[in-house]
Amino acid sequence: MIFNGFSIIMILGLWVILVIVLIGVFLILIFQDETKDKGERQKDERVPREDIAGIDSKSALQYPKPQSIMEPKIVINSMSEYKPEKLNEEFYFEGKMPNPQNDERYYLIFGEFAFKKLKDFLDWGIRTERNCVEQGGVLLGRISYFENEIYCFVKDVLLADTIGNPVFVEFTRQMWASMQDELAEINMSLEKEEQLIIVGWFHTHPNGLPVFMSGTDMNTQRLNFSKRWQASLVVNPHTDKYRVFFGERAIEGKMVLSSSRKQDKV
């Protein structure tokens, strides 16, 4: 068979097209394999959903944790399933305003012993070398509620051996562990129904600083004291000013000094 020039060109053209198609198919297959492998790697490296606010922690079981995330978080309250006591009537104290609309109200109620201990810790009312830097610790007590009113009864305080300067205070894992040990020792001498839990934390804003929740304070509150009844007390021992905030949204409450006799009813 004799091929003219045009036929040869057509045959060569078809072979070139066929080779190009085969190369294209081969490249597509390789790309799909690489994409699949990359997707599997990314799935394994995803951050656990329990660390994303608002996501149900149960769904985190399907995501392996990176090593950096697997480090245990600081455990502030060993009684994580603690349930506040429901009162049959509201708790009264001098100066308490009526609540006919049943609004949400939050009260930090200090016993005389705990408040004196706090003032001694912080050298409240005088200026000393140690209280010119930020200090902090935890509040120990019990929680009660009546309807929409939360009563955080503080019966003791623990001062942490913090690392601080005039505008910052650091709580280390070792400090938290030490305070947990102190709490365990205190509870050894108490009946089970009287044992204390960590109901919140406190820290100072010394010198001329106002008392408020800074961004760092808010992060500490959200990570470690997010329960509705957990308190954050901010104190300036030099200006005699203080404010108390509750829960992860840091809703402002009221601090009250209560007699030991009233607290014993709780």
Strand partners, 169: 164
Rounded CA-CA distance 248/227 in Å is 7
**Which pLDDT does position 38 carry in this prediction?**
47
Residue 36 pLDDT level (bands cut at 50, 70, 90) = low
Mean pLDDT, range 95-110, rounded to an integer: 92
Strand partners, 108: 152, 255
Q: What percent of the chain has pLDDT over 70?
A: 71
Stronger pLDDT, 3 or 240, i.e. the higher one: 240
Amino acid identity of residue 190, one-letter, is: L
Alpha helices in the chain (DSSP H): 5-44, 112-122, 173-188, 215-224, 260-263
Helix (H, G, I), strand (E, B) or coil at 243: strand
Query: What is the chain's mean pLDDT, rounded?
Result: 76
CB atoms within 10 A of CB 258: 21
Structural element, H or E, at residue 156: strand 149-159
Residue 3 has pLDDT above 80, yes or no: no
Structure tokens at 37: 């492998």
**Which pLDDT does position 21 carry in this prediction?**
79
Rounded CA-CA distance 71/77 in Å is 18
Give the pairing type, strands 254-257 and 105-110: parallel
Helix (H, G, I), strand (E, B) or coil at 166: coil
**Which pLDDT does position 30 carry in this prediction?**
66
**Which pLDDT does position 163 carry in this prediction?**
66
Residue 60 CB-half CA count within 13 A: 16
Q: What is the pLDDT of residues 156-176, one digit of tens each?
A: 999 887 666 676 666 777 888
